[in-house]
């Protein structure tokens, strides 16, 4: 049963990831069973091919192990209030983003969610985090999250409720190490950005210090002061930022219309 659209595609995959295909004969039955199972989940060929290429271990092991992890993911999503249709889409994105999630013990997911629930997150909020984190959800650990949250709360001087709101706005905060957060927060504060601005737009912490510095300089050339304006203009991909700069440029060049100013007429 082929998961590649053409023989040429298959050869290309094999050349890039030979270890994924040249396995012992005892693994071939497991591989076939796992391919059939993943197809039953309505995963498209691109996702299955990526799984085979980057996480071949998930195909060489018994299909029951993958079923157990997938069932845990599905059950958790629905127990938190998610519907079946969105769950299927989420699962596809999760496996596409991080194929190694299948190799994690199901207990990892349960422990992470239990930790967050103990920190005061509701089921609806946990579902939001689960949806946003996708493939990163099993890369977290209670100890790592504890250190990150403790550092963030101390540095930003916020309450537990404020911290939860910040995390809901920027779920990536959960998996950044303290050193990374420290560098990024220090860089933003050095640029004159206030703590209250960071609380309002924490997603700016997803950007590296180098990117932030470059974007602040670009905005400064357009006479936009991030110290007094919204930080939202800093966010997004390179394309998003360029569009924001384009809008600011147009705003600068466009003459301001005063509706109460008298119109010049013929003398």
What are the sequence ranges of the domains in the chain? 10-140, 141-255
pTM value > 0.85: no
Q: How high is the pLDDT of residue 267?
A: 46
Contact 87, 127 (CB under 8 A): no
Phi-psi region of 133 (alpha: psi -120 to 50; beta: other; left: phi over 0): alpha
- CATH superfamily of this structure's domain 10-140: Transcription termination factor 3, mitochondrial (1.25.70.10)
> Of the candidates 161, 143, 157, which has an alpha carbon nearest to the alpha carbon of residue 189?
157
- Residues 39, 20: Cα–Cα separation, whole Å: 18
Q: How high is the pLDDT of residue 21?
A: 55
CA distances from 255 to 46, 244, 247 (A): 50, 19, 14
Q: How high is the pLDDT of residue 252?
A: 76
- Residues 225, 229: Cα–Cα separation, whole Å: 6
Question: Which mean pLDDT values do the consecutive 10-residue runs of the chain (267 residues) have?
Answer: 56 56 67 91 87 87 94 95 92 89 93 96 96 88 96 95 97 94 95 95 95 95 92 94 91 64 52
Q: How high is the pLDDT of residue 70?
A: 95
């Amino acid at each position: 049963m082929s998961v590649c659209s053409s023989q040429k595609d298959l050869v290309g995959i094999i050349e890039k990831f030979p270890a994924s295909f040249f396995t012992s004969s005892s693994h071939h039955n497991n591989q076939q069973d796992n391919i059939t199972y993943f197809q039953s989940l309505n995963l498209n060929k691109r996702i299955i091919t990526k799984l085979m290429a980057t996480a071949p271990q998930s195909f060489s092991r018994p299909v029951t192990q993958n079923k157990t992890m997938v069932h845990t993911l599905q059950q958790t999503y629905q127990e938190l209030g998610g519907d079946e249709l969105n769950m299927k889409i989420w699962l596809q994105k999760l496996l596409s983003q991080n194929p190694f999630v299948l190799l994690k013990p199901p207990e990892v997911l349960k422990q992470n969610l239990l930790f967050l629930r103990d920190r005061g997150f509701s089921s609806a909020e946990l579902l939001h985090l689960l949806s946003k984190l996708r493939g990163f959800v099993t890369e977290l650990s209670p100890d790592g999250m504890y250190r990150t949250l403790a550092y963030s709360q101390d540095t930003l001087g916020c309450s537990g409720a404020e911290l939860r709101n910040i995390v809901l706005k920027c779920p990536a905060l959960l998996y950044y190490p303290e050193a990374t957060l420290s560098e990024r927060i220090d860089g933003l504060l050095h640029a004159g950005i206030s703590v209250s601005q960071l609380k309002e737009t924490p997603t700016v912490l997803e950007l590296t210090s180098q990117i932030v510095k470059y974007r602040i300089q670009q905005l400064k050339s357009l006479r936009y002061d991030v110290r007094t304006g919204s930080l939202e203009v800093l966010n997004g991909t390179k394309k998003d930022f360029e569009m924001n700069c384009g809008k600011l440029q147009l705003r600068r060049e466009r003459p301001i219309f005063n509706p109460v100013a008298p119109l010049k007429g013929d003398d």
